[in-house]
Structure formats: structure tokens, C-alpha cells
Amino acid sequence: MGLPLGAALAACGTSGPAPSGGGAGGGAAGGSGGGAGKATYWFLQGPPGEAPRTASVERFNKANPSGQIAITTIQNDAYKTKIKTAIGANQAPTIIWGWGGGGLRSYVQAGQVEDLTSWFGENAAVKDRLFPGAFGAATIDGKIYAMPCETVQPIVLFYNKKVFEKVGAQPPQSYGDILDLVKKFNDAGVAPFSLAGQSRWTNMMWLEFLFDRIGGPEVFQAVFDGEKDAWNNPASIEALTKMQELIKANAFIKGFSSVTADSNADQALLYTGKAAMMLHGSWSYGIQQEQGGDIVSSGGLGWMNFPGVDGGKGDPTNTVGNPGQYLSISSKATPEQKEIAKKFFATGVLDDQEQKDWVGTGGVPIVKGSDKLFAGSKDAEFLNFIYGVSSNAKVFAQSWDQALSPTAAEVLLDNIAKLFQLSISPQQFASNMNAVIGK
């Protein structure tokens, strides 16, 4: 019986630095003491992001002795809970770091973040130098509530060139090729695709692409906009059916439902050659480089955008993933704190040095022309590819679980797991999901 009580307590147990007054409390990497009017900023701990973020704030503080920012770094999973609790308790930091989309919408509905539309109107230069696609997930009902920042992370189809050579196969140019490759690799005793099925969002990436390629971005947009029975769209049912056909054709590694992404077991399947291909976020490149032995340095890792589906409506240049990360300003902050935050957005975020730092971690900053910084990088080829995919995409859709509200996202991931288990039919999936549209 310990758990219900513990859960109730946990909601009250998190405390953070107060929004007004001293901002020195609680920070693992907190600033140098607090003064009145100091802005606070929480973000994620650990590589690759912590170093560029910290350095950028330090440069800002050095240049602005009168308006300092105090930072607190928090681990990924802990952050998601802590930031929600802090915002709910009116204890939010001045600058709220996040993923945009559905999470941001819930802050907006609770009236907890500043509307930045007019600020961006007055500071058009700040807006115009960033990828336009990054603003979609920052925009709620036509108003901008967050400053896009950091890097773009599209989902990419990775493949192991050595396995392709051994089997004598070519990378797929269409969905039909994928079906042929599935058969070819299975005959050769290699799993066609690696998949960390237990993590659920990994399965979701497949649906995101199939939906886009078959029906175009409008299909999911209708869900996002809360249209009634949007999942019943024929394109949606076709994509779900194709998904289950792939699973039945053994397109994914045997036992994929036991594989987890946290342990990078899906990455290992690709670089050890047990699987030929893998659909994953662009950050997978860094993991392959770090853990995959010589797969990257020897040119064994291939990458491409997901191919088109024959007869599908979607543009094969479209992509999905994280169009950026997002910074919002707490509406509960003091006017001085808000001013500091806006100054940071205008002069600190993604300055030249921060862009270089992100490129150094293998990321592509969401700044137009940041590809100039790739020259000389050992990862230039991959970075240029990501830059090209992101800037050429007609539509850069946000990952579904980030775009939807947390409530709907949980139902979505649940039903995706069942769909991949083949325990529900495409039609059942659609009805289950229709029930939470707009929630």
C-alpha cells in the first residue's frame, strides 16, 4: 500500500528555486549566488547538450553583468516531471526549456507562458535567421509561445553498408523495394530491420512515415486539429494495414518487442550486422560512432530519407522528428526577469560559438546557413545530409507523441504497442484513437 501514498507525496515533494528573489538554490550547476531580478533557467543534464547550453549562458552572463541567468541542470526523465510540477505550483523557472507541441499547449492553456508573437514581430531578425519549419511546434492557435533553439533531429533510415554488400542488395528507392529487401534479407538470414519495440515511440516513427507517404501530412494534421473520427481516413487505415503486413512478413528482428531503446540494443543490432536497416532519430549517428566500433569511421553506415510509397500522396522530401527544442518564458516571472530572458533570446541563444559547439556534438543548429560551419568536421557528410533534409523538407512534422497532449500521447503509444503485437486490428486502432481526439 506504499505506492498510492508515495505517488501523492511525490507531487508535493519537488521544490525548485523560487521564481523571484534569490536564484541560487537547488542548482547542480547553479550560478554564482543570487541577486534580485536574476532570471532562472532549467535544462537537461548530460551529453551532448549540457556543455553547449552552459557555455552559452556563461557567455551571456559575462556580457551582461547587470542581468544574470542562473542555471539548474536536471536529468531527462526527472525533468519532465519536475518542470510540470513546478509550473503547476507557480514555481517555474523564468526560462522553460521544452519540446514544444502538445506539452507547450498544456502550458498555454494553463496560462503559464508568455505570448511572444508581438516580440517576434518587433524582432523579425531573431525569427528570420532560424529554420521556418522550427516554428510549427512553437505556435499554438496562431500565436508563438516559444523561441526555437538548439538542433534539428529528423528521423532517418540508417543502413549497414557491409551487410548490403554481403547480400548484394541496394538501398530501397520505394516502399516496393523495402518489401523486396525484407524477403531478400530474411532469405540471407539477416533481420531486415532493427526495432526496439518495447520502447513504443520507436514503433511510432514507422507509422509517422507510412501515414505521411501514403496520405500526406494532412492525415495527422486532422488528428492534431481535433477533427472528429480523423483516424478513420482511408489513408490512415491503409497505413496501419501496411504496418501489420510488414510485421507479418518478418520485416523486424525476431523478438523486437523485447528490445529496448534505452539500452541501445537496437543500435547494436545494426552495427553488429544482425539487422540491415533501422529507422531512428538522427542522434543515432552519435551513438553508432561512440559504440559501434569502426562502423562510422570505415564508412559502413549509410543513411537516407524514408522512401516514397508507390501511388502515395505524400511528398518524399517530407520528414518527421524534432524540428528543434523550445524556450518559453514563464508568465509568473517578474518584469525584470522577462527582460533578461528576452535579451538572452535575442543575443545569447544560438550565437556563433553555440552553433559551433552544437556542430561539434554532431548536431545541426536550426540556423539558416549553419552548414557553412560543417567544413572540416569529420562528420561533414552526415551533417550536410541532415541540413539538406531539414531545410528542403516541404513539411517537417513533429513527432506525434510530442505533438499530442500527454493524455492522448499515452493512449497513442499504448495502442501502437498493441498494433505491433497484432492484438488489435487497424480498425480497432482507429476507433480507440478516435475516442481521445481533442483530449
DSSP 150: S
Which range in 123-131, 293-301, 352-360, 410-418 contacts another protein by CB under 8 A? 410-418
Question: Taking CB under 8 A as the rule, does residue 54 contact another protein?
Answer: no
Task: Give Dmax over CA atoms of the chain in angstroms.
Answer: 69
20 closest CA partner among 42, 37, 44, 3: 37
The least distance separating another protein from the CB of residue 109, rounded to whole angstroms, comes to 7
Question: Taking CB under 8 A as the rule, does residue 328 contact another protein?
Answer: no
The least distance separating another protein from the CB of residue 194, rounded to whole angstroms, comes to 9
Identify the residue among 58, 343, 406, 434 touching another protein (CB under 8 A).
Answer: 406
Residues with Cβ within 8 Å of 421's Cβ and at least 6 positions away in sequence, in order, are 257
Cell numbers standing for residue 142? 496562431
Question: Taking CB under 8 A as the rule, does residue 346 contact another protein?
Answer: no
Q: Is 327 helix (H, G, I), strand (E, B) or coil?
A: strand
- CA distance linking residue 37 with residue 336, whole number of Å: 6
Question: Taking CB under 8 A as the rule, does residue 423 contact another protein?
Answer: yes
Cell numbers standing for residue 1? 500500500
The least distance separating another protein from the CB of residue 204, rounded to whole angstroms, comes to 14
Question: Taking CB under 8 A as the rule, does residue 88 contact another protein?
Answer: yes
**Alpha carbon 12 to chain centroid distance?**
29
Give the number of C-alpha atoms closer than 13 A to the C-alpha of residue 120, restricted to the C-beta side.
19
Give the number of C-alpha atoms closer than 13 A to the C-alpha of residue 111, restricted to the C-beta side.
1
The least distance separating another protein from the CB of residue 199, rounded to whole angstroms, comes to 8
- CA distance linking residue 65 with residue 49, whole number of Å: 25
Question: Taking CB under 8 A as the rule, does residue 8 contact another protein?
Answer: yes
- CA distance linking residue 209 with residue 319, whole number of Å: 8
Question: Taking CB under 8 A as the rule, does residue 76 contact another protein?
Answer: no
Identify the residue among 9, 124, 125, 375 touching another protein (CB under 8 A).
Answer: 9
Identify the residue among 7, 124, 125, 375 touching another protein (CB under 8 A).
Answer: 7
- CA distance linking residue 267 with residue 191, whole number of Å: 13
Identify the residue among 254, 368, 378, 394 touching another protein (CB under 8 A).
Answer: 254
The least distance separating another protein from the CB of residue 17, rounded to whole angstroms, comes to 19
Question: Taking CB under 8 A as the rule, does residue 115 contact another protein?
Answer: no
> What is the sign, positive or negative, of the torsion defined by CA atoms of 284, 289, 294, 297?
positive
Q: Which residues in 170-209 contact another protein (CB under 8 A)?
A: 197-198, 200
Cell numbers standing for residue 80? 519532465
Question: Taking CB under 8 A as the rule, does residue 255 contact another protein?
Answer: yes
Q: Identify which of residues 210 and 253 has a Cβ nearer to another protein in the complex.
A: 253
The least distance separating another protein from the CB of residue 407, rounded to whole angstroms, comes to 5
Q: Where does 211-286 show beta strands of DSSP type E?
A: 275-281
Which residues bind to another protein, rule: CB under 8 A?
A: 1-5, 7-9, 11, 81, 84-85, 87-88, 106-107, 109-110, 112, 197-198, 200, 253-260, 263, 265, 268-269, 274, 405-407, 409-411, 414, 417-418, 421, 423
